[in-house]
Structure 1
């Protein structure tokens, strides 16, 4: 799968910009870039992003029976709430969680599992001395078959969005801070949002001890800058040729439209 990285890539760093805007901007950016990449107007794009304290909900989360109480709990703890347009359930974003998007043109040979494997392979290459495993971690928030873990404790999750012939493979990496404290927040959110009432999906029964940050797992404090350096160095070692061109005027126009769309959808999904 790493062969996909041995080509020209555009690198867009939103790890600082994102601290001043809602994560909805990131979903609008990725959708806009997906469209442009799919039309071969720009090369495949690597985008990094970091946002302040926000819990990103899945659509199913927004339909929990007492969701208004859950949102109130998050607000009391200093977190904003949004609903994303890709799959999955509730995850935490904050200044110590590093997000990577690999945005490529869709190919028949790039299956859904192939997209997950590509990101998994990239992360393993970034941390070659760490035994990173992929597989669902029961008890984590937003569990999935491509949870990334070390010694059974999850530090990252991968999602995917495919639109208009483009593929955005996205990962959140809990780089520093307490993974179990983040998990405790999500556990409390579900408790407050459900309150023993029936739900139309099987929401995660979060066990905070199943989650940790990468810094906790390797016993070394990592910063956003450390991870950025590892990412760019690894991409180059794998044969990627990086350029720093920004968004095109076409992408900027798409972004404005997509941001309006995701904002409207978000308002409809939340009480």
Structure 2
């Protein structure tokens, strides 16, 4: 919590403009911001982003024995598939999922991995004060991309947290299932593993997805929350956490050059990983 109370924050809202772009562009943006914030070329930053129907695969997902047979059904259902080069397993992105990245610098003191996770947990609890005491962080068995910092209410997962570190910058990312059916998203990943494994035993243990353990915040809170509602909450929370006015600017021309460098790198890596598969 203490590392979120800062004099100045920058807010980059891509919750509308990034919807039709590839999610690879978001990975490149977070790498760019890690570099900029880590090297103190800009102030700590929060970015919100949304992408339309996309399944983001982890490296291990790309190694499913029958991955080439599993992907066509996802594509037929209208989902794009990409591979990320960081840890974790498959997640679902769509217009009802709000992603939030908090980017901090380690120049004034290291931020260990648990501290990064705890910062995002605190941020999410502050975003939803009406449910703050109900939001818990522990692994939800049967969820997709399970991890120690799965966020849940009443044992049903609505969010997962990951981290990316680069050039003394730390990007802590959360996907929040805000609208729609959490179980329907989980069914997509369940089918991915069933079709990708076909009962084969593998060295890596893939999760056995139980769709009923996943839900959206709208379902859990019993209210019609929208991505736009939560995006406004993020902005208001940042105003409360900072002592100065929030800096609400897109990338400068110099920052855009750095972004294009990281975008090329992310795209190249993704193509190499697809080729390996």
- TM-score > 0.5, shorter chain as reference: yes
- How many residues align? The count is 271
Per-residue CA deviation, residues 42-63 of structure 1 (Å, 9 max, x unaligned), is 1111100000000001111111
Which residue does the alignment assign to 2:199? 196
Question: In 1, are the aligned partners of 2:186 and 2:214 still within 8 Å (CA)?
Answer: yes
State whether structure 2 residue 266 is matched by structure 1 residue 262: yes
Pairing of 1:218-237 with structure 2 (within 5 A)? 218-237=221-240
Which residue does the alignment assign to 1:120? 121
Root-mean-square deviation over aligned CA pairs: 1.3
Which residue does the alignment assign to 2:241? 238
Q: 2:146 aligns with which of 135, 143, 153?
A: 143
Pairing of 1:1-271 with structure 2 (within 5 A)? 1-106=1-106, 108-130=109-131, 131-239=134-242, 241=244, 242-270=246-274, 271=277
The CA deviation at 1:33 is: 1.1
Looking at structure 2, the residues matched to 168 and 3 of structure 1 have their Cα atoms a distance apart, in angstroms, of: 13
Question: In 1, are the aligned partners of 2:55 and 2:93 still within 8 Å (CA)?
Answer: yes
Structure 1 residues 136-145 or 72-81, which shifts more? 72-81
Per-residue CA deviation, residues 64-108 of structure 1 (Å, 9 max, x unaligned), is 111111111211211000011221100000000000000111254
The CA deviation at 1:250 is: 2.8
Looking at structure 2, the residues matched to 213 and 11 of structure 1 have their Cα atoms a distance apart, in angstroms, of: 24
Q: Using structure 1 for the length normalisation, give the TM-score.
A: 0.96
Structure 1 residues 73-82 or 193-202, which shifts more? 193-202
Question: In 2, are the aligned partners of 1:73 and 1:192 still within 8 Å (CA)?
Answer: no
Question: In 1, are the aligned partners of 2:53 and 2:80 still within 8 Å (CA)?
Answer: yes
Looking at structure 2, the residues matched to 246 and 238 of structure 1 have their Cα atoms a distance apart, in angstroms, of: 21
Looking at structure 2, the residues matched to 197 and 3 of structure 1 have their Cα atoms a distance apart, in angstroms, of: 46
Structure 2: which 5+ runs fail to align? none
Looking at structure 2, the residues matched to 152 and 27 of structure 1 have their Cα atoms a distance apart, in angstroms, of: 29
Which 4+ stretches in 1 moved above 4 angstroms? Answer: none
The CA deviation at 1:204 is: 0.9
Structure 1: which 5+ runs fail to align? none
Q: Using structure 2 for the length normalisation, give the TM-score.
A: 0.94
- In 2 relative to 1, CA 66–33 (structure 1 residues): closer, same or farther, beyond 3 Å? same
Looking at structure 2, the residues matched to 235 and 132 of structure 1 have their Cα atoms a distance apart, in angstroms, of: 20
Question: In 1, are the aligned partners of 2:24 and 2:263 still within 8 Å (CA)?
Answer: yes
- In 2 relative to 1, CA 2–245 (structure 1 residues): closer, same or farther, beyond 3 Å? same
Question: In 1, are the aligned partners of 2:15 and 2:231 still within 8 Å (CA)?
Answer: no
